[in-house]
């Protein structure tokens, strides 16, 4: 009996971790800190950034709001996910809908409370961010392209908060942001192809449902071609140290992605395409360390 209860508790913890996409939040936290250390506040010492209580509050508030966002998104998409992601949905269903709603409000309250330590503007930003996620989950995600665009904006918003905090207005930051935004937008549109069956059953008005898969692929292809522009600009005109290797590799992966995109026909193919873009985004986080390898080695050793 004791072992059974412990097993159920462990499954519920795994369900909660799956529900809030804990792995995505960990990557986000790492990305915010690495971007702060090596890009946004590179003139400050490592200790000044890592032990900055205000930065810690911004990162914590971001993580809490995004965790709440995943919960409310799952709450509204429970039936659709049961079709598109049956295995994950069965795990997520170990947590009741009532608990999801309670956790959503608790996480958002904690986020605003933590943000209040930084400033009133921070409270306003995260309150607007919470509302934006709710509006997207409840209404906008069913609107073709608008839902994809808003989702990409919401995904990149936590970096905007850190960017404003350090008041870094260098052009390289904007080019990085455009590169990341276009990648995320393309990934969101790939997810529409991947989730076509569930979206169709639940009457979602996505681009592949309204205009067909070919039009959706053309739109994604154009986004990928546009992504090549900031990639080339970052390689050619900015001093990014060894991070140039990442953008050069990204160009190769994106060209490969285009070839695979127009030869894809099944959900399995779209999952692979989704994972390619996800891989490029995650590797981009770790490649920030390549901007100044000597500085990284000096701080580690």
- Would you state the pLDDT for residue 254? 95
Q: Whole-model pTM?
A: 0.87
- Would you state the pLDDT for residue 138? 84
Going residue by residue through the chain, which has 301 residues, state the pLDDT in tens, using 9 for 90 and above. 545 555 555 666 666 666 767 788 888 999 999 888 877 766 777 788 888 999 999 999 999 999 988 888 877 776 666 666 666 555 556 667 787 788 889 999 999 999 999 989 999 999 999 999 999 988 888 888 888 999 999 999 988 888 888 887 778 888 999 999 999 999 999 988 888 877 777 777 888 888 888 999 999 999 999 999 999 999 998 888 888 899 999 999 999 999 999 999 888 899 999 999 999 999 998 888 887 655 555 544 4
12/10 Cα distance (integer angstroms): 5
Residue 230's CB is within 10 A of a number of other CB atoms, namely: 21
In the three-class reduction of DSSP (H, G, I as helix; E, B as strand; rest coil), residue 118 is classed as coil
101/108 Cα distance (integer angstroms): 11
- Would you state the pLDDT for residue 85? 67
CB 25 within 8 A of CB 68: no
Which of 256, 275, 277, 259 has the alpha carbon at shortest distance from 267? 275
- Would you state the pLDDT for residue 12? 60
- Would you state the pLDDT for residue 282? 92
- Would you state the pLDDT for residue 89? 58
- Would you state the pLDDT for residue 230? 94
CB 45 within 8 A of CB 37: no
Q: Cα dist. 50→32, 42, 56, 165 in Å?
A: 11, 12, 8, 14
Q: Which two tokens stand for residue 260?
A: 């695979």
How many residues can be counted in the chain? 301
- Would you state the pLDDT for residue 7? 56
- Would you state the pLDDT for residue 291? 77
One-character DSSP codes across 60-96 = HHHHHHHHHHHHHHHHHTHHHHHHH-HHHHHHHTTS-
């Amino acid at each position: 009996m004791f072992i059974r209860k412990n097993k159920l508790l462990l499954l519920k913890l795994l369900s909660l971790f799956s529900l809030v996409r804990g792995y995505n939040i960990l990557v986000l936290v790492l990305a915010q800190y690495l971007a702060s250390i090596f890009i946004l506040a590179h003139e400050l010492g490592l200790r000044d950034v890592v032990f900055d209580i205000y930065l810690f509050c911004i990162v914590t508030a971001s993580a809490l709001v995004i965790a709440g966002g995943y919960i409310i998104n799952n709450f509204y998409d429970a039936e659709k996910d049961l079709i598109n992601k049956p295995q994950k949905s069965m795990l997520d269903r170990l947590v009741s809908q009532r608990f999801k709603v309670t956790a959503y409000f608790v996480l958002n309250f904690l986020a605003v409370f933590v943000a209040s330590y930084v400033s009133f503007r921070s409270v306003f930003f995260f309150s607007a961010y919470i509302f934006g996620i709710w509006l997207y989950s409840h209404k906008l995600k069913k609107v073709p392209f608008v839902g994809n665009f808003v989702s990409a904006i919401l995904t990149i918003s936590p970096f905007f908060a850190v960017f404003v905090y350090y008041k870094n207005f260098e052009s390289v930051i904007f080019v990085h942001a455009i590169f990341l935004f276009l990648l995320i937008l393309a990934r969101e549109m790939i997810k529409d192809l991947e989730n076509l069956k569930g979206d169709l059953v639940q009457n979602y008005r996505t681009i592949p449902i309204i205009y067909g898969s070919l039009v959706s692929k053309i739109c994604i292809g154009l986004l990928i071609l546009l992504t090549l522009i900031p990639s080339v600009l970052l390689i050619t005109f900015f001093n990014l140290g060894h991070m140039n290797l990442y953008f050069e590799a990204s160009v190769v992966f994106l060209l490969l992605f285009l070839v695979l995109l127009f030869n894809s026909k099944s959900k399995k193919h779209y999952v692979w395409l989704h994972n390619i873009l996800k891989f490029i985004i995650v590797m981009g986080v770790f490649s920030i360390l390549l901007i100044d390898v000597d500085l990284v080695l000096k701080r580690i050793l």
